[in-house]
């Protein structure tokens, strides 16, 4: 009798769990459909040259938590057409990071980012990267992060297999294969680490307002060092209330209002 009651309780609990999961899936699908409809309507607005309306809907999709290179890329295009250069550069940079992380083509994103950056009123002067740095950057983004992780995992298994073979059979050939596997593993780990760090930049930001003052201290009464224009990249190195201390590409540092920049 007690066993039958317990069995019946488990059956009822199972049905409740199934119903809950079905309800959660229905809610998730409904939310996904709503965001897809919003994204589609934004594309329609863009084709109709209603760029402000399109940008508003793209931003709503982003606020809903959609991390898609397409959404950010389209938002960048709409912001550029709306003459919001700071927003355009931010969205293109974000789209580029997401595309690189997923191993997707980046040619169009890089082109539009370059065009948008040419519209920045005053870009801080910086030295071009060294050839080796550019080559390593391209090599790190040859594959997606998942692919690099898979290559590292496969190499670890190969290394483990070679260690077992070497332990059972001492052969010069196995020794050379083992050394080669270790070198390849180190190479793959270095590339995977570089790919992760470049697609997840720490405290990297973009000035999204058309123009904002760069102060010597987190106080609007302090000395203005220079004017920062929309689209200029920077790195947040400190915060104080509603202020952020940023470092520009030319290593100039100063304080700006927190709402003037947006973290990538």
What gap in Å lies between CA 36 and CA 38, rounded to an integer? 5
How many alpha carbons lie under 13 Å from residue 153 in its C-beta half-sphere? Answer: 6
Q: What is the CATH architecture assignment of 2-117?
A: Alpha Horseshoe (1.25)
pLDDT band at 9 (very low <50, low <70, confident <90, very high): very low
| Residue 17 pLDDT greater than 70, yes or no | no
What gap in Å lies between CA 9 and CA 71, rounded to an integer? 47
Is 204-263 a CATH 2.30.30.40 domain? yes
For the chain, domain boundaries: 2-117, 132-199, 204-263
Predicted pLDDT at 90? 93
What gap in Å lies between CA 163 and CA 177, rounded to an integer? 10
Predicted pLDDT at 220? 85
Predicted pLDDT at 3? 44
**Residue 66 in 3-state DSSP?**
coil
The angle that helices 172-199 and 131-140 make with each other, rounded to 10 degrees, is: 100
pLDDT band at 68 (very low <50, low <70, confident <90, very high): confident
pTM of the predicted protein model: 0.73
What are the tens digits of pLDDT across the range 185-227?
888 888 888 888 777 778 889 998 988 999 988 888 888 888 8
What gap in Å lies between CA 66 and CA 72, rounded to an integer? 9
| Residue 127 pLDDT greater than 70, yes or no | no
| Residue 229 pLDDT greater than 80, yes or no | yes
Predicted pLDDT at 75? 92
């Amino acid at each position: 009798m007690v066993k039958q009651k317990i069995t019946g309780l488990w059956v009822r609990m199972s049905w409740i769990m199934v119903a809950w999961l079905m309800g959660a899936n229905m809610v998730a699908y409904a939310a996904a459909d709503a965001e897809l409809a919003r994204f589609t309507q934004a594309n329609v607005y863009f084709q109709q040259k209603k760029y402000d309306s399109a940008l508003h809907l793209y931003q709503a999709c982003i606020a809903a938590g959609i991390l898609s290179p397409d959404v950010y890329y389209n938002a960048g295009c709409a912001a550029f057409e709306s003459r919001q250069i700071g927003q355009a550069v931010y969205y293109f940079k974000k789209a580029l990071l997401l595309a690189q992380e997923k191993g997707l083509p980046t040619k169009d994103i890089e082109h539009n980012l370059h065009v948008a950056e040419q519209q920045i009123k005053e870009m801080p002067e910086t030295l071009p990267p060294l050839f080796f740095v550019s080559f390593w950057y391209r090599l790190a983004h040859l594959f997606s992060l998942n692919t690099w992780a898979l290559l590292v995992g496969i190499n670890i298994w190969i290394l483990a297999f070679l260690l077992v073979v070497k332990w059972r059979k001492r052969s010069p050939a196995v020794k050379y294969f083992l050394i080669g596997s270790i070198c390849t593993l180190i190479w793959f780990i270095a590339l995977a680490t570089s790919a992760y760090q470049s697609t997840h930049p720490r405290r990297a930001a973009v000035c999204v307002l058309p123009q904002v003052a760069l102060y010597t201290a987190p106080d609007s009464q302090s000395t203005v060092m220079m004017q920062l224009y929309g689209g200029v990249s920077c790195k947040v190195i400190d915060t104080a209330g509603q202020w952020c201390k940023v470092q520009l590409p030319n290593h100039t540092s100063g304080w700006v209002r927190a709402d003037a920049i947006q973290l990538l």
